[in-house]
Amino acid sequence: MNEQQDGAAPQHLTHVREDGTAHMVDVSEKAVTSREATAQAVLVTRPDVIELLSSGGLPKGDALAVARIAGIMAAKRTPDLVPLCHPLPLSRVSVDLAPGADRVVVEATVRTRGVTGVEMEALTAASVAALTLYDMIKAVDKAATITDTRVLAKSGGKSGDWSRS
């Protein structure tokens, strides 16, 4: 989609110079503000696999606990994984996993006081938690999929608050 959710067209890509080369955005003049972002990813699998996940019956152990910790660790490593992402002092990372009939909804919330947002950290946390779940269930369901990876909401900073609603 070329338009932002509010309908306004983006002015330019901030990580790309006029000549097309990539660069890390200079945020040195930006004000420090409280910032928060929530993202999700969804692991879709079979109901019998959800039962194994919920009961701790997988060969590799408690997948939900391992996925939660993996997501938290991933949020802290985002600048190592996403080349132009600024390292930020994260003040909170939470990863919630909600098993349903045939899926686990992963929701990650990240908070900081900084000069740039934490959407990438939230997306990384949700993605890696879902990848970890896949790794732990692939012995029993190689056809599982990860879907609906997206930012749900963000707050703080110059661009203000946004929610997928």
Query: Where does residue 122 rank: exposed (0-12), middle (13-18), buried (19+ CB within 10 A)?
Result: buried
Q: Strand 103-114's sheet: what is its strand order?
A: 90-99, 103-114, 33-44, 145-155, 162-163
Cα–Cα distance between 125 and 127 in angstroms, integer?
6
Q: Of residues 62, 96, 135, 148, which has the active-site annotation?
A: 135
Residue 107, annotated as binding a ligand: no
Per the DSSP assignment, residues forming a β-bridge with 147 are 42
* Cα–Cα distance measured from residue 73 to residue 127, given in angstroms and rounded to the nearest whole number: 12
User: Binding residue per annotation — 120?
Assistant: yes
The answer to the question of whether 119 is labelled as a binding residue is no
Asked if 26 is an active-site residue, the reply is no
- Binding site, by residue number, is 84-86, 120-121
Q: Which residues are catalytic?
A: 135
- Binding site for substrate, by residue number, is 84-86, 120-121
